[in-house]
Amino acid sequence: MFATANNMNNNDLHIAIVQQDIVWEDKKANFKRLEQLFKQITEYVDLVILPETFNTGFSPNALCLAEEPLGDTFVWMNKWAKKLGATIMGSWYVKENQEVYNRLCCVDSRGLAGHYNKRHTFRLSTEAQDVTRGNERTVIFINGWRICPFVCYDLRFPTWVRNHYANSCFDYDIAVYVANWPATRVKAWQRLLQARSIENQSYTIGVNRVGKDALDTPHSGSSMVVSPNGNAIHQLENDVECVRIFSLSHSNLDRYRKKYPFHLDWDDFIISNL
Helix axes 72-84, 27-38, angle to 10 degrees: 10
* 67 is an active site residue: no
How many of the other CB atoms lie within 10 Å of CB of 221? Answer: 28
* 39 is an active site residue: no
* 152 is an active site residue: yes
Does residue 199 come out as left (phi exceeding 0), alpha (psi in the -120 to 50 range) or beta?
A: alpha
**Quick one: CA dihedral 65, 68, 70, 71, positive or negative?**
negative
What residues does 149 pair with on adjacent strands? Answer: 176
Q: Which of 118, 127, 148, 241 is catalytic?
A: 118
Q: Which of 52, 67, 127, 241 is catalytic?
A: 52
Residues 90/118, Cβ–Cβ less than 8 Å? no
Give the C-alpha separation, 87 to 48, whole Å: 6
Coil vs helix vs strand at 108: strand
Q: What residues are annotated to the active site? A: 52, 118, 152
